[in-house]
Structure 1
C-alpha cells in the first residue's frame, strides 16, 4: 500500500503522466548485475556466466538477467565475477567516471583520488574501482589512483569492506566515519566524489516494502536537511577542477531539485554540468525545487540534472546531478599526511611480517606478480596483519579504518597465512599452482562450504579457481586439498 500523501504529491507533480507512473507498480521489478572487469575480460565473463544477459543502456558492463535466474546462489558470485545491482543505481558512477577532457589534460600527472562518501553496501564503490582499473591498465591514467570508500554505520561499513574484498579491489581504503570528520582531514583533496545520499527511498517502493512503511513527509524533510550537510562536507573535500555526482533513489523534489538548488545558492563556485542522457532519462524540473513551498530563486540549470522514472525505462526511480568545482585540478594535501609504511620498491632489509610474506611469495607467486603488486604499494603492518597500502594513501591516524589497502595475510609463528583478499585479487597466471574447478560442479560448492577434495600435484599453496576465476586458497598435502576458505563466508548450497 503506497502512502496516500505520497500518491497525492506524485499526482500533483506528474499530471497526465500519473496513471502511467501508477501502472509501473504493477510490473515486475528489473534485476541486473554488473560484470567485474578487475577479474578479467568482461566479454569472456559474459560467455561463462550461465544467465541470459541483456545490456543496461547507461552502464558499461551492466546487464539485466531473467526473473528465474539466481545469480546470488552461484560460485561465480563468490568469486567476484559480478555484482548484483539495481540497474538505475548503475547510472551515477557512469557519469562520475566518464572522461571530462579539459580536466584530464590539465591534470595529466595528477593521481586520481576518489571518494565514495556514503558507500555501503558497495555497489557503486566496486563500480568505481572497476573503471579505475580499466583506465590504469589501458594506459589512460599514469597511476592506479586511490579510492576511499566511507560508511558512517559500523555494521554497513563491514558489509562494504567485505564487498570490496570479494571484487578483488587492491587500491581501496574503507573508512567508518561521518562526513564531518572526513571533511576535517581532506580539505580540497579529492578529484571526484560520489554522494549517493541517504534519502527517503521513494524510488525503491516497488522493490522494498520496508521503505514504503518507513516513509513520511516529515522523513522527507529530515532527509533533505541531512543531504545539505553531507553536500557541504563534500564541497569542502573536492579539489578545484574536480567533479561531484549527487544521486538519490527518491522522487521527492525537496531531496532532488531542491537539494541541488539550495547547494548551488550556497556554493557559487560550483556549476551543473550538462551531460548526455541515455534513452528514457528525463530532465530535472527547476520549479520543483519549491514544490508546495513559497517560491524562491529558480535556477534554469537544474534542467540539466537527470531523473530516471520507472514508467520511462527499465529500472527504479533515481535522480542524479553532475557538479564541477571551478579551478584547476592539482595534487591533493591531506592534513593527516601519508601513511608511514615501507615503500615496497625501496625495500632492502625486510622486517618481521614482510620477510614471511616474501618467503610465501617466492614459493607461491610468479616473480612478476610480486613486482606488480609492489610497483605502487607500501607495506603497512597492524599487529600481525600485513597490508599493501596504495600509493599516496593518507595516514590512518585518528580515522576509523576497516581496510587500509590490500590485505596480504597474517603472520603466524614465522610463516605467512595468505589472506582471502589476496586470493581474490590474483589471477591464474600470477600464481605457481592453481586448481581450476567447474563453476557448475559439486566440488567447487563443497569447497565454498569448507570441504576438502582430492587433487594431484606439487605440495604447497594453490589458488582455487571457478572456471578460471580466483575463489580462495587451498593447501595441497598428500593428495588432499585442505580448505582455507574463510569460515565466516562458507555457505550451504
Structure 2
C-alpha cells in the first residue's frame, strides 16, 4: 500500500523500531466485527443461536470477529431483528469504556452512523435518555434507522451544530461521547479512500474543529459527569493536544484510567509542549499490536458532583420533568385500544401527539423549539380516522412477550425473507380464516415488524425504506 511520505515520516518518529511491524500490518487483511445488542439478547444466548462462526474480541465483552471475506451477516434475518451491529473491532472500544448507568442522560455528539450510539442506548436498558447528534442531516437519517432497529425508545436524534446545542442543554448530560471527526489515519488499511482524504484534509485541518467541539461538549456536561473523547487517528495534534487544550481552558477536568487490555498503549505526554504525565492514562491502539485498526481514547471527569453548579443543573432538570408531566392529557381511544394488547403500561404523561403522529417521550426534556431534530422519543404510530397504525419503531422496541398477537417464524422459513422484501404472506396454518388484526412478526422470537392479518393472509407492513432488495 502506498502511504504518503509525510505520514510515513511522522509514524517513523512516533514508532521508532516498531515501524517495520506497523508497515507489515498493511499486508494483512482487515478485521471484521459484530457487536451483540444486549438490550435484546444476552451474549450467551446469541452464541447459541448464531448461524455463523464467530470468535470473541478479547477486550469487548459483547464483540466478536467474523470472516468478512466469506460471510454476509448483514443479509441474515437476525441483523434485521437488531440482534447485532456490524462494526470494526477497535471502533467498539470507546462506547465500551464509557461507564453508563441506568437513568443516565447520555449524549453522543458526533453519532452517525450509530455504531457507538446504539451501544450506549443498549446499556441504558430503556432508562434515562440517549441524545444522538450528527451535523449532517443525511447521515442523521441513517443514524435514526440504526437506533430504531436496535429498539431504543428513550431517544432524541438531532442534526445540529454542537455549539447551538449548548444553549439548550447547559450542564444537562451525565455522560458524553465525542467520536470526533478526524484525519482517519488509523483506518488506512480498512478503507484506502482515507489516504486520499488525508492528502486533502489532514490533522491541521481537523484539530481546530476538535478543539471547538470538546469545549462545547464540556459546557453540556454536568459537574461530576464523564466525557470520553476518541478519534481513529494517530496524530498528537488531534489526540493528546486536544485533551491538553480542554484542560487548559477547563482545568476542573481530570483524566481517568480506562479499563485496560494488554494491547493498549499509553498516551504520549511529549505531544504537549509542557508534558503532562496524566496523559499516560489515555489510550492509543495500534494495528500492529492488536487485531483491529488505529484508535485513541481519553476518559475525563468534570469536577466534583457536589458543587453548586451541579445542584443548579439538577434543579433545571426537575423543573423540565414537571413541565412534561403538566401537559399530559387523556389517551386517545384508538391508541388505548391497541395498547390493551401490550403488556406494559402506557404513561399518559409521556405522550406527545403532533398531527397524526404519536410519540412516547423521555422524561425531563428541555424546550427544544428551534432545534433541528429527526426524532424525539419513540414513534408509537399514527392516528388515522379513528384507528391507530403502529410504527416500525414500536415493533422493534417491543419484545415478543409484550404483545399478545404474534406470528413467529424460524429463521430458515422462506417467509421471513419474503416478509423482509415486503410481500404478503400465506399464514393459514398459523391463524384461522376468521382471525384478523395487527400481528407482530418475529423471527425465532425476535420482532421484525408488523403485519395485518385477514383471511389467513398477512398483509405486509414492514417499513418500505427498510426492505430487503
TM-score interval for Structure 1 and Structure 2 normalised by the shorter chain: over 0.9
- Counterpart of 1:247 in structure 2 is 230
- SS at 1:72's partner residue? helix
CA apart distance, 1:24: 0.8
CA contact (8 A) 1:408 1:418 kept: yes
Q: Describe how 1:66-465 pairs up with structure 2 within 5 A.
A: 66-67=67-68, 68-97=70-99, 111-133=103-125, 144-216=127-199, 219-289=202-272, 296-328=273-305, 330=311, 331=314, 333=316, 337=320, 349-350=330-331, 354-362=332-340, 365-366=341-342, 368-369=343-344, 371=345, 373-374=346-347, 378-456=350-428, 457=431, 458-465=435-442
Can you list the C-alpha shifts for 1:54-80, whole angstroms capped at 9, x where unaligned?
A: 222222211111231211111111111
- Counterpart of 1:107 in structure 2 is none
CA apart distance, 1:217: 8.0
- Counterpart of 2:51 in structure 1 is 50
Q: Which runs of 5+ in 2 are unaligned?
A: none
How much is the aligned-residue C-alpha RMSD, in angstroms? 2.1
Moved segments of 4+, more than 6 Å: none
Can you list the C-alpha shifts for 1:423-477, whole angstroms capped at 9, x where unaligned?
A: 0011111111111112233210011001111113231111101111100001110
Q: Tell me, in whole angstroms, the C-alpha distance in 1 between the residues paired with 2:201 and 2:440.
A: 52
Q: Tell me, in whole angstroms, the C-alpha distance in 2 between the residues paired with 1:311 and 1:279.
A: 13
Q: Tell me, in whole angstroms, the C-alpha distance in 2 between the residues paired with 1:335 and 1:34.
A: 35
332 and 444 in structure 1: CA distance in 2 versus 1, 3 angstrom threshold: farther
Q: Tell me, in whole angstroms, the C-alpha distance in 1 between the residues paired with 2:322 and 2:290.
A: 45
TM-score, normalised via structure 1 length:
0.88
Q: Tell me, in whole angstroms, the C-alpha distance in 2 between the residues paired with 1:154 and 1:131.
A: 25
Q: Tell me, in whole angstroms, the C-alpha distance in 1 between the residues paired with 2:189 and 2:39.
A: 32
Q: Which runs of 5+ in 1 are unaligned?
A: 100-109, 137-143, 290-295
CA contact (8 A) 2:108 2:133 kept: yes
CA contact (8 A) 1:341 1:380 kept: no
CA contact (8 A) 2:100 2:124 kept: no
CA apart distance, 1:96: 0.9
CA contact (8 A) 1:339 1:395 kept: no
CA apart distance, 1:5: 1.1
Q: Tell me, in whole angstroms, the C-alpha distance in 1 between the residues paired with 2:40 and 2:201.
A: 44
CA apart distance, 1:218: 5.5
435 and 339 in structure 1: CA distance in 2 versus 1, 3 angstrom threshold: farther
CA contact (8 A) 2:422 2:467 kept: yes
- Counterpart of 2:24 in structure 1 is 23
- SS at 2:9's partner residue? helix
CA contact (8 A) 2:100 2:175 kept: no
Q: Which region of structure 1 is more displaced relative to structure 2, 66-75 or 220-229?
A: 66-75
Which of 418, 442, 460 in structure 2 is aligned with 1:483?
A: 460
TM-score, normalised via structure 2 length:
0.93
- SS at 2:82's partner residue? coil
CA contact (8 A) 1:281 1:308 kept: yes
Q: Tell me, in whole angstroms, the C-alpha distance in 1 between the residues paired with 2:366 and 2:288.
A: 44
- SS at 2:261's partner residue? coil
